[in-house]
Copies of this chain bind each other. A is one copy, B any other.
């Protein structure tokens, strides 16, 4: 079970930069907020845009697991490369699961070392050098015939994914002719939309993006699970962990509800203590991908312009990813002596699955203290030392501890932050499920790319960004 230690967010540790612990006592506002929020979320759960909360539970759980396993089983041993075509919520969860639950050398291993499972590439951009090199590699190693493309797009109209898909579709048709459809699995809307129509026309196998599950809350749906299962990750255990955490996070009693506690701490520190920058800093390379996943969840859900009694308020917090111990040599100078505007969230791991002893025998005095220890001991000592150093300079921080990094604990972690995000949205009075501010850029892109009907957007861009002498 994940644990949350938030002592370093309180005033007895970090002085005026922390919260008054009395506010977390029975009867005080933290408790009241928790009881209120859990009640609100209990009433809305499973409806509207909160259907993501039902992903770990039947009937969605069984139906998705059966579909994902069947789709993966049919392709077992037939592919050397699996390429996910997606962006944002259709890519971040896939990358994060792979980073957490497969070795960092996965793509470098031989087919046997991978147990016959494919390499995984998540193509979440349209950089031509990057896309080109990845597709070239797949064509040369394994070949297109043994490369499976998993296109993930609810609508099919996301420009980046659509462009990638058009390229891949033509490439496959050239190389494989009518057999090309065997090399595509689409995850899309089960009933409507552009990608749905394409899949029906081309005869692709599909898995659903379930109704009412937005991109950034979709990792525990087929969106995240199909590529994971293809690479041998245990999807059922992910959902088990999420279900366990969901129960903890439904408790109206604040000291038992880690999502409500996280939301309360971060919203209060963010809005009342001048700490709107929220760092997630795993002391564990495998969890670094989840820092990226968190960035989207926290930024896009909470970063909203809201009207508060006629006044325009820019709500939200800036999520920042960092990696321990690496970033001690990059960011800690700033975190301790720069502006006191951050809350640092550590992720700590008990058992890394393996450890590496530091052998004795070099006999150099200045570093002899390391002999006979292990890398895991050193890494966790560095984490504790950094925690101490931050407290010493009154920088609030908290620790989420993983007993080990496995499917169950990763599932817990996903659910913890998803529910915390929902609570934080309610506390900030923002809609955690929309992203209205990305529309302007989409329309401008359409204009610049010459899409019919968007000429006025092109004219607006050209008028706003006319050449100036402020260039060198």
Contacts and interface: CB of A to CB of B under 8 A. Distances in A.
Interface string A293-331: 001100110111100000000111110100101101111
B361 A170 contact: yes
A62 to B, nearest CB: 30
Interface in A410-435: 435
Interface stretch (A43-51, A53-61, A180-188, A379-387): A379-387
A74 interface: no
A88 B170 contact: no
A299 B330 contact: yes
Contacts of A136: 105
A445 B382 contact: yes
Contacts of A359: 166-167, 170
Most buried by B among A92, A366, A387, A451: A366
A464 interface: yes
A129 B354 contact: yes
Nearest to A284: B127
A77 interface: no
A108 interface: yes
B304 A337 contact: yes
A320 B323 contact: no
Given A91-B326, A300-B330, A303-B334, 5 more contacts: A160-B382, A328-B441, A336-B440, A369-B449, A388-B464
Contacts of A443: 385
A450 interface: yes
Interface string A81-108: 0000001110110000000000111011
